[in-house]
Chain A
Amino acid sequence: DGGITQSPKYLFRKEGQNVTLSCEQNLNHDAMYWYRQDPGQGLRLIYYSQIVNDFQKGDIAEGYSVSREKKESFPLTVTSAQKNPTAFYLCASSIYGLAGGSDTGELFFGEGSRLTVL
């Protein structure tokens, strides 16, 4: 079955450590996204990538980094510079990343990764 796989599901880290969250998709989608979710704040866009080897900052990129070396993979690193990293992180993909594509922009989501910094 096609879909998006995020790992790990739960992650605990000490303050000051960098952590990397994995996101893999086998939907052959061009675009991939990382969102952060906090209670009562909805989904906030961290980074997105419309094509391989290219990515753009979202609304809350500070303290995060990404790479897009392969179409299927879009890992997110939460660095020690992120002041409040404890959150639920969601990876998503869409068929096209650029406006003008024939799709609606519908996002397909992974199951999420919950990061807790102790």
Chain B
Amino acid sequence: AQSVTQLGSHVSVSEGALVLLRCNYSSSVPPYLFWYVQYPNQGLQLLLKYTSAATLVKGINGFEAEFKKSETSFHLTKPSAHMSDAAEYFCAVNPITGGGNKLTFGTGTQLKVEL
């Protein structure tokens, strides 16, 4: 079964500092990969997605993620954190084959941004 692991359920950074949220997946072939953001009591919003077109993917709000096949990773980064980035972030994978086109989600990382 395909799986996604997000290292660190809580991450805290200072405003202006680098944001790094980690995501590793298990898949025998390069899958489709996604990062979603969720603000309190709201639904999930797509930040960015990897669809094999380019390994470095740029998303909304200044976020980007790099697909590294050798490391089976898809970490999310942002050069400078803003207070408005405080939210929960989910990594998800679509294994493409055998998954019925369904996404599998990680358990989420809560990002806290401090002054």
Per DSSP, chain B at the interface is loop
Q: Does A45 contact B (CB under 8 A)?
A: yes
Q: Does B26 contact A (CB under 8 A)?
A: no
- What size tier do the contact residues of chain A reach? 20 to 34
Contact A101 B90 (CB under 8 A): no
* CB contacts between A and B, total, < 8 Å: 71
Q: Does B96 contact A (CB under 8 A)?
A: yes
Contact B43 A42 (CB under 8 A): no
Question: Which residue of the partner chain, among A88, A99, A106, contacts B96 with CB atoms under 8 Å?
Answer: A99
Question: Can you name the residue of chain B whose Cβ is closest to the Cβ of A101?
Answer: B101
Chain B residues near A40 (CB, 8 Å)? 9, 107-108
Binary per-residue interface labels of chain A (61-104) against chain B in the complex, 1 for a CB within 8 Å, 0 otherwise: 00000000000000000000000000010101010111111011
- List which B30-56 residues lie within 8 A (CB) of chain A: 32, 34, 36, 41-46, 49, 51
- What size tier do the contact residues of chain B reach? 20 to 34
Question: Which residue of the partner chain, among A43, A50, A111, contacts B42 with CB atoms under 8 Å?
Answer: A111
Identify the B interface with A (CB < 8 A): 9, 32, 34, 36, 41-46, 49, 51, 90, 92, 94, 96-103, 105-108
Could you list 13 examples of A-B contacts with CB < 8 Å? Answer: A31-B101, A33-B102, A40-B9, A50-B100, A90-B43, A90-B44, A97-B101, A99-B98, A99-B100, A107-B103, A109-B44, A112-B42, A114-B41
The 10 A-B pairs with the shortest beta carbon distances in the complex, nearest first, are: A109-B43, A105-B94, A42-B107, A104-B32, A43-B105, A109-B44, A105-B101, A111-B43, A99-B101, A42-B105
Identify the A interface with B (CB < 8 A): 4, 6, 31, 33, 40-43, 45, 48, 50, 88, 90, 92, 94, 96-101, 103-112, 114
